[in-house]
A and B are shown apart, each in its own frame.
Chain A
Amino acid sequence: MSNESWPLYEVFVRGKRGLNHVHVGSLHAADDAMALTHARDLYTRRNEGVSIWVVRSEHIAASTRDEKDPFFAPSADKVYRHPTFYDIPDDVPHI
């Protein structure tokens, strides 16, 4: 049985204008052009998208395991990045 498979692609779809592309899943295709047409047939059969990105899965660099990972620690102790950190009197308008 021929077991040589096409590379895996990750698929990202922009649902409508004004939205980001969102990861929707993956598929196998021989090349980029085929990955795009397969992605259209598989992930946008009901007008779910106005734009598609496909990228070879092996080309994605990812952070390590889960959210508790120390990789994200630098953002956890910077409460001053959030607007609620600042005390503004209630009678100051529009802030």
Chain B
Amino acid sequence: MTTTHHAEASPPESPESPETLQEHFDATIARDQRIEPRDWMPDGYRKTLVRQIAQHAHSEIIGMQPEGEWISRAPSLRRKAILFAKVQDEAGHGLYLYSAAETLGADRADLTDRLIEGRQKYSSIFNYPTLSFADVGVIGWFVDGAAICNQVPLCRSSYGPYARAMVRICKEESFHQRQGYELLMTMMRGTDAQREMVQDAVDRWWWPSLMMFGPPDDASPNSAQSMAWKIKRHSNDELRQRFVDMTVPQADKLGVTLPDPELKWNAERGRHDFGTPDWDELMRVIKGDGPCNDQRMERRRSAHEEGAWVREAATAHAAKRARKEPAA
């Protein structure tokens, strides 16, 4: 796996004892300082990060597809340009994250293979179909909104390159969420049929969006270690709760109903109570049995394979130029 020459990866051999190294690592985490690529780190920390960052990167890349399908069918040039920019940002997010993973010694081509061969996962949310243009708005509002809830605390993640990638990503997510909400406000001011499209999209995306935060805390065995390492700052359930509290007043303003009869304000807790997502459905979708899993993977695979000649041509061109003008 360690085939790159990343400037920051591959720490040199250290003369220090494993105990000293571990102590230094623990002290850095305890002081709330960042771990940087060439620092010594426990194997488990490195593996956990590579897995999490890679899955995050894959999610951004696969996440281009559901909305990308609407670029050619956007209702106006303005919406088309916005959607283009948004989908391009998601590609950028994937690349920032792959770059962060490479500082840990991961190899980019290997990560791509792991995605394409189904050996690494991506977020379950992107396995649902985008049936109408209102879905584009609801994805911006819910999915990017949930991503913001998840990602803002990750800006303080203990691994430096991951945290820095998150800062960059969070700045861009705000545009994503706002363009979605604005799109929905426009549709809500339109015809009855348009308002129905919005409500229908809300009904379909609400529960899958809540599932984005992962299984409930008592069924999320690795969370505690990630929180001890300060990779993660809040539990799945806490982040889910924040998302609900943030979204309810936005739904009121928009004039849509969130499809949960148990959803209500709890004055005692100062937070909303809400129903339980269908965790069996989440497991099914993660295992590959969602409505669009096959389609998403097939699309990613064919894009990679159909792009092979471009990569080969660029490599050949670079080699030819290098022969013509040898380095000074």
Residues of A within 8 A of B (CB): 1-8, 10, 24-28, 30-31, 34, 42, 45-46, 57-58, 60, 62, 64-66, 68
Alpha-carbon gap, A46 to B28, bound state (A): 34
B128 within 8 A of A: no
Known interface pairs A34-B314, A66-B38. Does A57 touch B5 (Cβ–Cβ under 8 Å)?
yes
- The CA-CA distance from A4 to B308 in the complex, in Å, is 10
Q: Are B107 and A25 in contact (CB-based, < 8 A)?
A: no
Which listed residue (A8, A24, A31, A66) contacts B6, Cβ 8 A?
A8
Interface of B is mostly: helix
Q: Which B residues are CB-close (under 8 A) to A64? A: 11-12, 38
Q: Chain A interface secondary structure, helix, strand, loop or mixed? A: loop
Bound CA span A2–B109, Å: 9
Minimum Cβ distance to chain B for residue A6 (Å): 7
Of B88-96, B216-224, B257-265, the one contacting chain A is: B88-96
A-B contact count (CB 8 A): 82
Q: Is the CB of B315 within 8 A of A25?
A: no
B positions within 8 Å CB-CB of A: 4-8, 11-12, 14, 24, 28, 36, 38-40, 85, 88-89, 92, 95-96, 99-100, 102-103, 107-110, 113, 116, 161, 164-165, 168, 172, 308, 311-312, 314-315, 317-318, 321-322
List, sorted by A's number, 23 A–B pairs whose CB atoms are closer than 8 Å: A3-B109, A4-B109, A5-B108, A5-B109, A6-B314, A8-B5, A25-B96, A26-B6, A27-B95, A28-B108, A30-B317, A45-B85, A45-B89, A57-B5, A62-B7, A65-B11, A65-B12, A65-B38, A65-B39, A65-B40, A66-B24, A66-B36, A68-B24
